[in-house]
Amino acid sequence: MARRGISTQALTGAIIVLIGGLLLLGTTGAYDVGALWRYVPSLFVLLGVWALYRSGLQNVTGPVILIVVAGTIQLLALDLVTGDVIARWWPLLVVLFGLSVLLGRWRQRRRIPDVSTDDFDLIGIFGGTERRVTSGSFHGGTATALFGGVDVDLRDATITDPPAVVTVTAIFGGVEITAPEEWVVEVDAIPVFGGVEDERPRRPSDAAQPDEPDLLVTGFVAFGAISID
């Protein structure tokens, strides 16, 4: 079930803005950010922990990999561990990657979790997340894919106050949205070295067009893709 509070997309955006601000302060010479840079990896540890919480521990492998990698870099930056220690323990990353493959196969065989709330907040980091929305008054949600994927099935959802708005952020990842054939879907996303595709059958040219779409998909795509099925 999606959890209330700060969305993972909002947190990701805030981290990017903060890093951009530090870069700007450094390049303009307005402030010496050398000491602050040492703690930047902790921001990604926070993002991984938040992603675990927001997914209700449904999306585990990707956030755990992010936490381990960012946490290791943070320990190195603070001189709490040495390169020799990392050299002995780096195969742990290979183990985690293997577990992600196994979990991916397991997810394909199990029932896709349902989301019965009116909105959702999903994130895929170095892994995949799948949800089927069954809300009777669906009004939107957010999907964030960072080096991973998010699949959302809306065929069992009902929109009572159109348009429902789904905001997507896909960076080196992909988001796939499955919508009912009768829905009118409008896509207003910004692709940067990425793609946005509506693969559903075209509506007949003589079909009556509603004043507004049932579903509006907006957001940002960089080196990734949004697919509407």
**Both tokens assigned to 214:** 């049932």
**C-beta atoms surrounding 89 within 10 Å:** 12
Are the CB atoms for 117 and 96 separated by under 8 Å? no
The model carries a pTM of: 0.59
**Both tokens assigned to 188:** 């207003």
Model confidence at 177, pLDDT cuts 50, 70, 90, reads: very high
Q: How many angstroms separate the CA atoms of 161 and 207, rounded? A: 21
**Both tokens assigned to 8:** 């993972």
Are the CB atoms for 137 and 160 separated by under 8 Å? yes
pLDDT at 57: 61
117-133 pLDDT per residue, tens: 667 888 887 777 888 88
CA angle at 21 for the pair 20 and 23, rounded to the nearest 5°: 65
Q: How many angstroms separate the CA atoms of 143 and 9, rounded? A: 7
Rounded to an integer, the average pLDDT of 60-75 is 78
Judge whether residue 67 has pLDDT over 70.
yes
Q: CB neighbours of 8 closer than 8 A, spacing ≥ 6?
A: 47, 50, 51, 54, 121, 123, 142, 144
3-state secondary structure of 145: strand
**To the nearest whole percent, how much of the chain has pLDDT over 70?**
77
Judge whether residue 39 has pLDDT over 80.
yes
Q: How many angstroms separate the CA atoms of 50 and 6, rounded? A: 9
Model confidence at 222, pLDDT cuts 50, 70, 90, reads: confident
3-state secondary structure of 155: coil
Judge whether residue 218 has pLDDT over 70.
yes
